[in-house]
Amino acid sequence: MRTKMKRHVCLAAILALTVGASLGLAQGRGQGAGGGGNNNNAGMPWEALRAGMLVKWDDVPRSQQKTEPFKIFDNVAYVGLETVGAYLITTSDGLILIDATYADSADHVLESVRKLGADPARIKYIIVTHGHNDHFAGAGRIKQATGARIAMSAEDWTLVERLFSGTGGDNGMPFTRDLVLKDDDTLKLGDTNLKFHVLPGHTPGNVGTEIQARDGRRTYRALVGLAFAPAPGLTEASIKTTERLKQLGPWDALLTSHPYLAPVPIPLTAREIFLGVAPAAVKKQTSHPAAAGAEYINAYFDTILTAVRERLAREKASSASRPTQ
C-alpha cells in the first residue's frame, strides 16, 4: 500500500509539472529546510511538487541518495546528491567546488571528483552558497582532505558560526572563517573568472556564482547555487533578490542549489534535470539541455515573484489582524 501510494503521489507531481509547463510557467520544487527545520516552501509554487517528488526519498538513507557524477558543461560538472547540489568547476590552474553537501556525504563528493578523472587535491576553493547544513556541513571534511579555502558571505559565516557554537545538528567538522564574499566580488583562477552575487532571501547572505559555462566553442552565462524559498523575516528581501536576478540577466542557465529547483518541467533525477529532455519551448532557444534560455528563465522568476508577493501580502494581513498589546 505504501509503495502504491508513493507511486501515485509521484505521478501526480509529474502531471502537475507537465501542466505547468504547458502553460508556459517553469515550476521547480523547493529546497529542504536544510538546518532550520522550517518549511520555507509553504505557499510557494513548487511546494506540492516538492512534497510529491520527495516522497521517493522518504526513509531513504543519504548513502542511497548518491548519484554518479556527470559533466553538465565542459567546465562544470555535477558531483552532488540526487537531492542536494554540488558543482565542480574545472580551470587551467585547479578546481573550484560549489557546495559541499552534508557531513556524511562529503566523501561521496570527493569520490565523485575522482570518478571524473580529477584529483581532489587540486580543489583550491570551496564556495558555500548558504549556511544550511546540507550545503556547508561537508566543507570541513573536504578542506581537511584538500587544503582548499572556504568562501561564504559574511552574513552566512555568522549563521554557520552560530550553528557550530550550539548543540545538536549534524553540522560536520568545524572550520573557521576564511574568505568572506561580498556582492560583486570576483575570483580568477587560471583561465576562469567567477563573479559572486549576494542574494538574500533563502538565508541572509545566499551567494550565487556567475560563470561562463563552456560547451565546445560556445559559452553560456550561467548562475550556480541559487536557492529560492524565503526564510521567515526575509520575504521582502526575497522579492528584491528575484527582481534583481531579472535585472542582472539575461541568463542562459540556472544551476540551482537543489536539482529539483531547476526550471525544467519534469524533475526525475539530477542527470535528467540537467541533461534530459527539455520542453519544446526551451529547445528553440538554446542547443544545450541545461541552458533554458533567458525567456524561459524570466518566466520562472515571474512565477516565483508572484508566489512570494502573495506570501508577503498574507504576512502583512496576519500582522495587521493581531491584537495590539
Once rounded to an integer, what is the mean pLDDT over residues 63-70? 88
Task: Quickly state the pLDDT bin for 7 (edges 50, 70, 90).
Answer: very low
Q: What residues contact residue 126 under an 8 Å CB cut-off, 6+ apart?
A: 96, 97, 98, 100, 139, 142, 143, 148, 149, 150, 151
Task: Quickly state the pLDDT bin for 13 (edges 50, 70, 90).
Answer: very low
Higher pLDDT, 107 or 226: 107
Query: Which residue has 519551448 as its cell numbers?
Result: 281
Partners of 95 in the beta sheet? 90, 123
Is it the case that residue 185 has pLDDT exceeding 90? yes
- What pLDDT does 260 receive? 74
- Between CA 302 and CA 224 the distance in angstroms is 19
Q: What is the extent of the structural domain holding 297?
A: 2-321
Once rounded to an integer, what is the mean pLDDT over residues 96-103? 97
Name the least confident of 136-150, 233-247, 253-267. Answer: 253-267
- What pLDDT does 24 receive? 31
How far, CA to CA in Å, does 308 sit from each of 133, 224, 238, 248, 258? Answer: 24, 21, 7, 19, 19
- What pLDDT does 309 receive? 93
Which alpha helices (H) appear in the chain, and where do they start and end? 2-22, 47-54, 106-115, 133-136, 139-146, 154-165, 235-248, 270-275, 280-283, 294-321
Partners of 254 in the beta sheet? 223
Our CA angle for 275, 277, 280, nearest 5°, is 130
Residue-wise pLDDT tens digits, 264-308: 554 457 777 777 644 444 444 567 888 888 998 998 899 899 989
- Between CA 71 and CA 224 the distance in angstroms is 14
Residue-wise pLDDT tens digits, 70-97: 999 999 999 999 889 999 999 999 999 9
Task: Quickly state the pLDDT bin for 102 (edges 50, 70, 90).
Answer: very high
**What percent of the chain has pLDDT above 90?**
57
Higher pLDDT, 81 or 167: 81
Is it the case that residue 12 has pLDDT exceeding 70? no
- Between CA 188 and CA 172 the distance in angstroms is 29
Task: Quickly state the pLDDT bin for 206 (edges 50, 70, 90).
Answer: very high
CATH number of the domain bearing residue 212 = 3.60.15.10
- What pLDDT does 264 receive? 55
> Measured in whole angstroms, how far is the alpha carbon of residue 44 from the centre of its chain?
16
Once rounded to an integer, what is the mean pLDDT over residues 232-245? 94
**pTM tops 0.85, yes or no:** no
Residue-wise pLDDT tens digits, 139-160: 999 999 999 999 999 999 999 9
- In this structure, are residues 201 and 228 in contact, taking their beta carbons and an 8 Å threshold? yes
What three-state secondary structure class fits 186? strand
What three-state secondary structure class fits 147? coil
Is it the case that residue 56 has pLDDT exceeding 80? no
Q: Is 33 exposed, middle or buried (0-12, 13-18, 19+ CB in 10 A)?
A: middle
Give the range with max mean pLDDT: 10-19, 179-188, 220-229: 179-188
Count of domains observed in the chain: 1
- In this structure, are residues 296 and 281 in contact, taking their beta carbons and an 8 Å threshold? yes
- What pLDDT does 323 receive? 67
- What pLDDT does 214 receive? 97
- What pLDDT does 217 receive? 92
Mean pLDDT of the chain: 82
Give the range with max mean pLDDT: 15-19, 216-220, 282-286: 216-220
- Between CA 181 and CA 57 the distance in angstroms is 33
- What pLDDT does 282 receive? 47
